[in-house]
Structures are given as structure tokens and as C-alpha cells.
Amino acid sequence: MIRRIVVDSSANIYDLPQVEVKSVPLKIITDKNEYVDAYDLDTEDMIGHLAKYNGKTTTSCPNSNDWLEAYEGADEVFVVTITSALSGSYGAANLAREEYLEANPNAKIYILDSLSTGPQMRLVAERIEELIDKKVLFEDIVDDINIYNKKLELIFSLESLHNLASNGRVGFSLATLVGVLGIRVIGKASDEGTLQPIAKAHGKKKAVITIYNEMIQGGYIGGKVRIAHCFNEFDAKELLNRIRNEFPNADIFIEKCRGLCSFYAEKGGLLIGFEI
Ligand code: X90
């Protein structure tokens, strides 16, 4: 029996050690180029090109065919998507599910709307991996990850909200903070799966302190943490050290944002997924 984890590329996952994973790419699109957020995307090159490009840039979610391809051949599929409040990815994954089940009536597919993105999706995928490794039943994995996802938080720190604002993914009040030099917007994924601003921080040191304090405020007590950064390994490490100082045994690691998260989090952006 083939059991598979399928995520969209906003999860920043290439593979997991124990279980077969497929990542379905979102796309970043300009008049001149289309960047497919697949394994071979050169994120640095994309960000470099976009920095020099003055036209409009948009993104698109995977279509149902892209999802269908990723389900192909599997008996049980666990899907984790970016928040349905900001993307059509979840909807497309569901359309593909119906089609796949029609052709494969014995297969099972569960699709979790993460109401979040990036490292929070990674934590859910790691949890599924763990449960598959323990040979837990499909229905029990489904129940577990629904509860688990509610015990996860996503905090972000952004130096620019230009791309989020120009693509209508944040409200006006947040958009007005765009590009104010040296200011970072700290926020979290809301219960509805939207961006919820929490604080403004002046300078990188203050941003790291604010993120840490917000994690504690949010209920962090030493569980798993995944930090995704967009060309900002320095601050990611500062945050990791700060957490390790208080919680020496915490399971934490740092990863790079892939294409979609890099485009929206922009240079300097940090996304922190953690257990509460
Ligand atoms: O379907 C599409 O075209 C993709 C749209 C994605 C829009 C939002 C991406 C956010 C990426 C930014 C900070 C974290 C936000 C958390 C929100 C729940 C990362």
C-alpha cells in the first residue's frame, strides 16, 4: 500500500526522511517570466530578477491537474495546503480529490487546510510522517492532525509587504506600513487563516526580541520550532539562539524559503512555526 504526503510548495519541503512526499508547485508570474516553484527553482536568481523588474508580478496556485498528478498511484494521501483564505490551492486540491476518487474508489485522500503556510505546514507534514511510520490508521491520522494543527502557531516578521499588498493579500491598514525603512511588521496567522498584525519593531534586534516574546505570549513552552527565512539566516540564527537559551532541548531548525514564500515574505522575512 502506498501512503503519501502531498503539500503545495508554500510548505518549503523538498522531502522527508521516512515517507514519500510530493510538492505541488505554485507559480510566480511576470509579463516576461514564469517561475515554477519546483525543486529546481533558483530562488536567489528569481528574487534578483524581480528586484529589477518594474511591472506587475502575481502568483497562481496549482490547478487541479497538478494535484491529480501528485495523487497518482497512491492508496492513501495526506494533503496539506496553504490557507484557503489567501489562495485557491485548497479548492484545487479538493477538485482533484473528487476526480481521483471517482477513478480510484478504494483510495483515501484527506486534505487539511493549514489556515497557515510555510513552517506550520512542515510541522504538520512531519507529524503525518511520524504517524505513518508508526503505521497508524488513516482515520486516526486525520483526527490527530486536525487537533495538532490547532496547537500550532505561525509568527512572521516582514521588512516589506509590497508583494502581499500589490496582490491584495493584506488589508489597507497593513499595506500602509509597506516600505517604511527599518520597520518590521510582526504578525501571526489568524484563526481564519489571514495575516494578523501584532506589533511593529524598529530594527532587527528588536524584531527578534519581539518575535520571541510573542512566542512566549502565544504559549510556547519548549516544543518544536521551524524557522524559514528569506535571505536572512543571521536573524534566524539569533532567534534560534534566543530560544535555545531558555529551552536548551527544544527541537528547532532553520530552513530557506522556497519560491512562493520568498516572493511574499520578501528579503529579510522570517516565518516561525511552533508548537504551543
Ligand atoms: O494562490 C496564490 O497565488 C498564492 C497566494 C499566497 C498568499 C500569501 C502567502 C504568504 C506567504 C507571508 C507571511 C506569512 C503569512 C501567514 C498567513 C496565514 C508568507
261 lines ligand 1 (CB under 6 A): yes
Q: For 176-222, write each residue's pLDDT tens digit.
A: 766 667 789 999 999 999 999 999 999 889 999 999 999 999 999 99
Question: Which residue lies with its CA nearest to atom 13 of ligand 1?
Answer: 265
The CB density around residue 194, as the number of other CB atoms within 10 Å, is: 16
Mutate to test the pocket of ligand 1, among 7, 122, 163, 169 (most ligand atoms within 8 A of CB): 169
Rounded (10°) angle between helices 64-71 and 89-103 = 50
Residue-by-residue DSSP string for 79-129: EEES-TTT-SHHHHHHHHHHHHHHH-TT-EEEEEE-SS-HHHHHHHHHHHH
Q: Cell match 510541522: residue?
A: 123
270 within ligand 1 shell (Cβ under 6 A): no
pLDDT on residue 231: 97
- pLDDT for res 204: 87
Cα 86 to middle of ligand 1, angstroms: 6
Q: Decide: 154 in ligand 1 pocket, CB within 6 A.
A: yes
274/260 Cα distance (integer angstroms): 20
**Of the candidates 243, 247, 252, the residue with the CA atom closest to the CA atom of residue 224:** 252
Which mean pLDDT values do the consecutive 10-residue runs of the chain (276 residues) have?
98 96 98 96 96 94 98 98 98 98 98 98 98 98 98 96 91 69 91 95 93 97 98 98 98 98 97 98
DSSP 179: T
Q: List b or e across 124-162, with b for residues whose CB sees 16 or more CB atoms inside 10 angstroms.
A: bbbbbbebbeeeeebeebbebbeebbeebbbbbbbbbbe
Share of the chain above pLDDT 90, in %: 92
Would you mind telling me the total number of residues written for the chain in this entry?
A: 276
Our answer on whether the CB atom of 160 is closer than 6 Å to any ligand 1 atom is no
Separation of alpha carbons 171 and 86, rounded Å? 12
Strand 152-158 and strand 20-24: the pairing is unpaired
Please state, in angstroms and as integers, the Cα–Cα distance from residue 78 to each residue in 42, 183, 243, following that order: 28, 39, 31
Report pLDDT for 225: 98
Ligand 1, atom 15, residue with closest C-alpha: 195
User: Which pLDDT score, from 0 to 100, does residue 203 have?
Assistant: 87
Would the pTM of this model clear 0.95, i.e. be above it?
A: yes
Is residue 264 within 6 Å of ligand 1 at its C-beta?
A: yes
pLDDT at 205: 92
* Residue 51 CB contacts under 8 Å (≥ 6 apart), including other chains: none
DSSP 123-158: HHHHHHHHHHHTT--HHHHHHHHHHHHHTEEEEEEE
Out of 10, 89, 161, give the residue to mutate to test ligand 1, the one with the largest number of ligand atoms within 8 Å of its CB: 10
Dist. CA 98–CA 171, nearest whole Å: 33
